[in-house]
């Protein structure tokens, strides 16, 4: 994805891009869910939607369904779109809160076009006319992660990308500056460069291995540290949404693709064994498994400085916030687009590196708070994990957001950050955090 961003935007006479990768090192996951921002990325670099979907067995996605998260038996959808329309100068949810406090209890999801369509397994492209009710939502994709990686490689090579097959054996540093001087492959070839983008996954070969970049561990807030992924045969019609079902020690995903369904169990090893997790996952599948469960180990957190020296860590090498809410590809996209905005003209500029790290850190921190909300705001009493999450200390930034919304339905709007007020609204209400008051302007209607 990093190579695609650079090759798709920059001209060959501006910069030379060389990709080093090995077919022996696979991608993480058997299915991948995305967010609407991916469409913006594709549009910017020139990827054609219909071609990409055909070659990756992709389906459309209107949001994410959450089952059993707030409490057992609960269900809500986080849609890629708005709830209702602002009235009286304030957000629609203030009118909804006013009606609810007056005894008129309506499901807020009934006022979301994307949610209603999802519940009926329907999809259509948003209308171009912004005054139309069916213009109030967006969409994303589900696709095969392996096919997507191959598609991007072919797309890049067709546009002049130089690709080298190989594994990195050694990272050589400049003894005076501490910058990366070269990476040495197992073949013995030494590859030099001005800027190195570390896309080596959880290993972080350059940023963590050679440069010893510190990692900020957020396991105390996001306790899930393992996953099992397994593909199954399709068992029902396409659902235009990802499904996330809370289980005793984590949650299970379901991602519908054209040719199969991606499934997985994300769990905390502190609350369930690997064997128990595998048994639980296989017992919950709605189709025949096509492979054995693939184990994945991770820890949630981020590098304290993704741009260090002349190395920029992108994707899993930079950080990871578990698969919940499909943020991994988005965070990769943010890093790539921010790099394009701040690309140095000559030697590495510390001012640009500092700004890059500020932007990336803000994105991670705000996504972190959004994910913690799902775990913390629950009333489940059936397992130790959920009691732990409900009682744990949370970041001050999230505590303030919850207090503001609970007091009067106020949702802070930031210039930067992935999740906008409609997303926070859907998860707040879905998890049982409802306002006890509303904006006084709602009384003017």
- Band of residue 237 on the pLDDT scale cut at 50, 70, 90: confident
pLDDT surpasses 90 at 14: no
pLDDT surpasses 70 at 30: no
Tens digit of each residue's pLDDT (9 = 90 or more) over 267-283: 999 999 999 999 999 99
For the record, the structure tokens of 137 come out as: 């939502």
pLDDT at 29: 52
> The sheet that has 75-79: what strands, in order across it?
75-79, 63-67, 242-247, 250-256, 261-267, 226-232, 294-297
> Cα–Cα distance between 298 and 179 in angstroms, integer?
28
Q: What residues have CB less than 8 Å from 56, skipping those under 6 apart?
A: 141, 143, 144, 147, 148, 151
First to last CA, the chain: 49
Bridge-based pairing of strands 18-21 and 162-165 is parallel
For the record, the structure tokens of 390 come out as: 């409900």
Q: Examine the residue annotation and report whether 130 is marked as an active-site residue of this protein.
A: no
- Band of residue 70 on the pLDDT scale cut at 50, 70, 90: very high
Determine which one of 61, 294, 309, 401 is catalytic.
61
Residues 287-296 have a mean pLDDT of 94
Tens digit of each residue's pLDDT (9 = 90 or more) over 97-116: 999 999 998 899 999 999 99
- Evaluate whether the domain defined by 2-444 bears CATH number 1.10.3720.10: no
pLDDT surpasses 70 at 197: yes
For the record, the structure tokens of 150 come out as: 């191959």
pLDDT at 347: 87
Residues 121-139 have a mean pLDDT of 94
Nearest to 234 by CA among 255, 265, 253: 255
Residues 384-388 have a mean pLDDT of 97
3-state secondary structure of 329: helix
Task: Sketch the domain layout of the chain as residue ranges.
Answer: 2-444
pLDDT surpasses 90 at 410: yes
Bridge-based pairing of strands 63-67 and 75-79 is antiparallel
pLDDT surpasses 70 at 403: yes
Tens digit of each residue's pLDDT (9 = 90 or more) over 159-185: 889 999 999 999 999 999 999 999 999
Kindly tell me the burial class for residue 167, based on how many C-beta atoms sit within 10 Å of its own C-beta (0-12, 13-18, 19 or more): middle
Alpha carbon of 232 to those of 150, 255, 325: distances in Å? 21, 10, 21
Buried b vs exposed e over 200-225: b needs ≥16 C-beta within 10 Å? beeebbbbbbbbebeeeebeebbbbb
CA 279 to chain centre: 27
Q: How many CB atoms lie within 10 A of CB 405?
A: 22
> Cα–Cα distance between 55 and 45 in angstroms, integer?
17
**Mean pLDDT, the chain, whole residue set:** 93
Bridge-based pairing of strands 63-67 and 242-247 is parallel
For the record, the structure tokens of 220 come out as: 């105390």
> Cα–Cα distance between 219 and 298 in angstroms, integer?
10
Q: What is the dihedral of CA 359, 311, 7, 43, to 10 degrees?
A: -20
Q: Which residue has the tokens 């007056």?
A: 102
pLDDT at 42: 92
For the record, the structure tokens of 98 come out as: 């006013």
For the record, the structure tokens of 359 come out as: 């932007």
pLDDT surpasses 60 at 359: yes
Q: What residues have CB less than 8 Å from 353, skipping those under 6 apart?
A: 305, 307, 308
> Cα–Cα distance between 319 and 364 in angstroms, integer?
8
Alpha carbon of 287 to those of 83, 233, 256, 329: distances in Å? 34, 5, 11, 27
pLDDT surpasses 80 at 339: yes
DSSP state of 151: H
Cβ 368 vs Cβ 222: under 8 Å: yes
- Band of residue 412 on the pLDDT scale cut at 50, 70, 90: confident
SS3 assignment for 321-332 = CCCHHHCHHHHH
> Cα–Cα distance between 291 and 229 in angstroms, integer?
9
> Cα–Cα distance between 263 and 247 in angstroms, integer?
14
């Amino acid at each position: 994805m990093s190579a695609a961003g650079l090759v798709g935007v920059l001209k060959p006479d501006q910069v030379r891009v060389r990709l080093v990768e090995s077919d022996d090192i696979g991608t993480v996951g058997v299915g991948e869910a995305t967010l609407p921002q991916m469409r913006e990325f594709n549009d910017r670099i020139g990827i054609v939607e219909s071609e990409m979907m055909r070659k990756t067995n992709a389906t459309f996605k209107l949001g994410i369904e959450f089952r059993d998260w707030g409490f057992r038996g609960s269900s809500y959808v986080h849609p890629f779109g708005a709830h209702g329309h602002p009235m009286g100068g304030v957000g629609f949810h203030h009118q909804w809160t006013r009606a609810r406090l007056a005894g008129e209890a309506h499901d807020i999801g009934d006022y979301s076009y994307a949610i209603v369509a999802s519940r009926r397994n329907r999809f259509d492209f948003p209308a171009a006319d912004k005054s139309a009710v069916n213009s109030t939502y967006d969409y994303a994709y589900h696709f095969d992660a392996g096919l997507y990686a191959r598609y991007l490689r072919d797309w890049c090579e067709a546009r002049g990308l130089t690709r080298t097959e190989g594994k990195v054996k050694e990272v050589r540093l400049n003894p005076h500056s501490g910058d990366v001087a070269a990476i040495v492959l197992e073949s013995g070839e030494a590859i030099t460069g001005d800027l190195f983008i570390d896309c080596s996954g959880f290993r972080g070969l350059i940023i963590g291995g050679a440069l010893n970049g510190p990692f900020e561990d957020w396991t105390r807030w996001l306790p899930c540290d393992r996953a099992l992924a397994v593909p199954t045969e399709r068992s029902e019609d396409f659902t235009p949404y990802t499904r996330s079902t809370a289980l005793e020690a984590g949650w299970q995903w379901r991602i519908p693709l054209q040719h199969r369904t991606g499934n997985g169990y994300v769990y905390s090893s502190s609350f369930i064994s690997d064997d128990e997790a595998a048994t639980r996952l296989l017992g919950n599948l709605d189709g025949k498994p096509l492979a054995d469960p693939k184990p994945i180990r991770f820890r949630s957190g981020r590098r304290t400085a993704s741009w260090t020296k002349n190395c920029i860590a992108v994707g899993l090498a930079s950080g990871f916030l578990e698969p919940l809410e499909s943020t991994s590809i988005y965070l990769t996209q943010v890093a790539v687009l921010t790099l394009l905005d701040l690309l140095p003209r000559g030697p590495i500029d510390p001012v640009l590196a500092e700004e890059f790290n500020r932007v990336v850190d803000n994105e991670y921190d705000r996504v972190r708070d959004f994910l913690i909300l799902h775990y913390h705001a629950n009333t489940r009493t059936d397992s130790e994990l959920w009691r732990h999450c409900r009682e744990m200390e949370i970041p001050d930034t999230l505590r303030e957001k919850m207090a503001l919304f609970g007091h009067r339905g106020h949702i802070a709007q930031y210039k930067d950050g992935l999740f906008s007020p409609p997303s926070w609204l859907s998860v707040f209400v879905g998890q049982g955090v409802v306002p006890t008051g509303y904006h006084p302007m709602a009384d003017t209607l």
